Amino acid sequence: MLSALLAPGARALEQTDPLPSWNDGAAKQAILSFVKETTDQASPKFVPPAERIATFDQDGTLWVSHPMYTQVMYCLERVAVLVKAKPEMAKAEPFKTVLQVLKGDREALAKLTMKDLEVVLAATLTGMSVDEFNAEVKKWITEAKDSRWKRHYTELTYLPMQEVLKYLRANGYKTYIVTGGGQDFVRVYSEATYGIPPEQVVGTAGGTKFGYRKDGKPFLTKEPKLLLNDNHAGKPEGIHLMIGRRPYAAFGNSTGDQQMLEYTKSGDGARLSMLVLHDDATREYAYGPAQGLPDTKVGTFTQALYDEAKKQGWVVISMKGDWKRIFAFE
Amino acid sequence: MLSALLAPGARALEQTDPLPSWNDGAAKQAILSFVKETTDQASPKFVPPAERIATFDQDGTLWVSHPMYTQVMYCLERVAVLVKAKPEMAKAEPFKTVLQVLKGDREALAKLTMKDLEVVLAATLTGMSVDEFNAEVKKWITEAKDSRWKRHYTELTYLPMQEVLKYLRANGYKTYIVTGGGQDFVRVYSEATYGIPPEQVVGTAGGTKFGYRKDGKPFLTKEPKLLLNDNHAGKPEGIHLMIGRRPYAAFGNSTGDQQMLEYTKSGDGARLSMLVLHDDATREYAYGPAQGLPDTKVGTFTQALYDEAKKQGWVVISMKGDWKRIFAFE
């Protein structure tokens, strides 16, 4: 009676499916079994609460990243704002090409090289104060909409993955984003969008420089100096730098996540490594090129990665087969 | 009646002094007032729980750092272990001088330049796997003892500061260590010693390199590449990199903490910046050179820092006057 008073919803909760947007199958079962094994005190694979760390890639794992990464869209659209302040920029490459892209010229987008993109990123992500940058991103993310669904980007998170985040947290896991995207960018909306506070976002990070305003107030300026390239080997390196513990569970969707999944899975006890396969052209997008899916440069999932997943016991999530619903707005 | 059942100790707790090792005075009052102002929902300076961040320097703020920083003692003593494996090292400087220091030659210690120390640090803190390093530090920290009290270094934490850590956490603050010392070093014992998990330790950090063992298992090697020099301006820069939010409270004891305290205090609302002044030669050590205390190279507290503290409304904690007890073992 007393325990019922203290936790009135406990019994009801136990009987509720924590992953209602998942179809029954190997992927859903792998998540449920992992949580059961690591949180049951009687289990030989019990993990003390303090060590329960789970890491999630963002682009293509937690939200839509096609046809282009959201942060790249921010940087491209930001060029238009910069050009207003400095009209001479419009004549110089790569900004000239970016302005064509913004006018709807898809072919112009393909012309941009990685080097061009780096110039655009440096111009739009550095050189301002941290507070100014945060304010700009906050404004953009609440206004900008994607081209297909005409919805805010933060509405394009995957409901099944939001359920996994909540389910893990309800079981004592600390959830982290470990993204190839910009750490400062994602931190602006991570708490409202995923329930993940800024300090639990690990991402590609540049240096900042401490200085003083004219009135003597200290501030930080974003510098064009790369500290952490949080992709491929940079993901486990970033996890060590920012968290200092090996995760028990890791979720990704592309070759950039491979080393994070290897690092996670090679720890002792129960470890969960999962990959989202985008095989649903109708409800979202279909790309690989694993399993004969169309090739892409945005979030590549190679056949080699697919084969390693099968060999290492990682679980591949089929968006088409495993997810009952993809978006909350459906 | 029901609320009494749910929180049986609540009333008793309210009547207990959360800072029993502090004498009544301005320093203790500043801490109590800050917590009251920022946690009372009716207060205009209320801070939402998610934003409650407090940062603490370690050496000289949370534990003894004289006559030499504990991590430097680790590095020096580690040289003896390295020499056993590679006897030819004993003939080369600066290792030759370090071996003299370890034999008790105090004058030899003064001969070591900053450059020498860097060589010793690189030799003892890099070039091994993260797991090997963690195991070595763990073994040393449970065995090594300091020269004055003949106690483990982890027993030389300041009881009044341990009370502040617990008091802030009990009031919803996330407590971080922000140290000029090595992030990986402090993370080994931070949870057991301060109740601060590894992911809440920000410190001077080097890069790691992801690779594979012969059996295919991935691992991280500690590289001699500095990513973050977490001292002076590096402290607010490190706080931004690792936490991404400005602290509401910060504690330090030397010029290396100045920028962290400035950064903290310049935020909106109630902000608490405090400095520990080592003015108790009997119970601990006395050094400044602020207020005419003896000069030191280990944790310098200059008169300029003291004057800025007074000007900016930071609170200086006198170990002699403000602390009833210094160590738990007293």
List CB contacts (< 8 A) between A259 and chain B. 210, 218
CA distance B132 to B212: 15
Q: Mutate which of B201, B240, B264, B266 to disrupt the A interface (most A C-beta within 10 Å)? A: B240
Averaged over B253-279, what is the pLDDT?
Answer: 98
Residues 6+ apart with CB under 8 A from A291: A277, A279, A303, A306
Contact present, A189 and A213 (Cβ < 8 Å): no
- Domains of chain B listed by start with CATH number: 14-66+151-208+215-322 (3.40.50.1000), 70-143 (no CATH)
Portion of chain B with pLDDT greater than 70, in percent: 95
Using the Cβ of A298 and the Cβ atoms of chain B, whether some distance falls under 8 Å is answered with: no
The verdict on A197 touching B (C-beta cutoff 8 Å) is yes
Q: Is A198 in CB contact (< 8 Å) with chain B?
A: yes
C-alpha–C-alpha distance, residues A118 and A123, integer Å: 9
Looking at the complex, does the CB of residue A266 fall below 8 Å from at least one CB of chain B?
A: yes
Going by pLDDT thresholds of 50, 70 and 90, the confidence category of residue B4 is very low
Residues A99 and A72: their CA atoms lie apart, in Å, by 14
Contact B233 A240 (CB under 8 A): no
Query: Taking CB atoms and an 8 Å limit, are A240 and B220 in contact across chains?
Result: yes
B residues 153-182 closer than 8 Å to A (CB): 174
| Contact status, residue B95 vs residue B122, Cβ threshold 8 Å | no
pLDDT per residue as tens digits for the range B209-251: 999 999 999 999 999 999 999 999 999 999 999 999 999 999 9
Model confidence pLDDT, tens digit, residues A8-34: 454 555 569 999 999 999 999 999 999
What does the DSSP assignment read for A191-226?
HHHHS--GGGEEEEEEEEEEEE-TTS-EEEEEEEEE
> Comparing B2 with A204, which gets the higher pLDDT?
A204
CA distance B208 to chain A (A): 6
Once rounded to an integer, what is the mean pLDDT over residues A252-259? 98
Task: Determine whether the interchain pair B259/A191 forms a contact, defined as Cβ–Cβ distance below 8 Å.
Answer: no
Asked if B315 reaches chain A (Cβ–Cβ under 8 Å), the answer is no
CB contacts of A187 in chain B (<8 Å) are: 244
> Whole-angstrom Cα distance, residue A188 to residue A137?
7
pLDDT digits (tens, 9 = 90+) for A178-234: 999 999 999 999 999 999 999 999 999 999 999 999 999 999 999 999 999 999 999
Q: What is the mean pLDDT of chain A?
A: 94
Q: What's the pLDDT at B2? A: 46
Query: Which residues in chain B have Cβ-Cβ distances shorter than 8 Å to A314?
Result: none
Nearest CA in chain A to B237: A208
CB contact (8 A) between residue A218 and residue B191:
no
A266 with B207: Cβ contact below 8 A: no
25-84 in A: which are within 8 Å (CB) of B? Answer: 50, 53
Q: Minimal Cα–Cα distance from B188 to chain A, Å?
A: 10
> Which residues make beta-bridge pairs with A174?
A53
Distance from CA of A72 to the nearest CA of B (A): 21
Q: Of the candidates B130, B236, B245, which has its C-beta nearest A218's C-beta? A: B236
| A279-305 pLDDT per residue, tens | 999 999 999 999 999 999 899 999 999
More confident residue, A109 or B149: B149
The enclosing H or E element of A299 equals none
Q: Is the pLDDT of residue B29 over 80?
A: yes
Residues 6+ apart with CB under 8 A from B28: B19, B22, B322
Give the integer Cα–Cα distance in Å for A281 and A279.
6
Tokens of A261: 């999944």
Tokens read off for B58: 């370690």
B328 contacts chain A (CB < 8 A): no
For A113-147, how does the pLDDT look when each residue is reduced to its tens digit (9 = 90+)?
989 999 999 999 999 999 999 999 999 999 999 99
- CB spacing of A237 vs B209 below 8 angstroms: yes
* pLDDT at res. A15: 66
A240, A245, A273: best mutation site toward chain B, by most B Cβ within 10 Å? A240
Tell me whether B205 touches chain A (CB under 8 Å): yes
- Residues B96-147 have pLDDT tens digits of 999 999 998 878 888 889 899 999 999 999 999 999 999 999 999 999 999 9
> Number of residue pairs across A and B with CB atoms under 8 Å?
88
Which residues in chain A are contacts of B227 at CB distance < 8 A?
A: 227-228, 241
CA distance B262 to chain A (A): 7
Q: How confident is the model at residue B278 (pLDDT cuts 50, 70, 90)?
A: very high
Average pLDDT of chain B to the nearest whole number: 94
Q: Which of residues 222-251 of A touch B (CB under 8 A)?
A: 227-228, 233-234, 236-237, 240-245
Q: Which residue of B has its CA nearest to A218?
A: B263
Contact between chains at A218 and B187 (C-beta distance less than 8 A): no
Cβ contact, residue pair B208, A263, below 8 Å = no
**Least CB-CB distance to B259: which of A174, A218, A236?**
A218
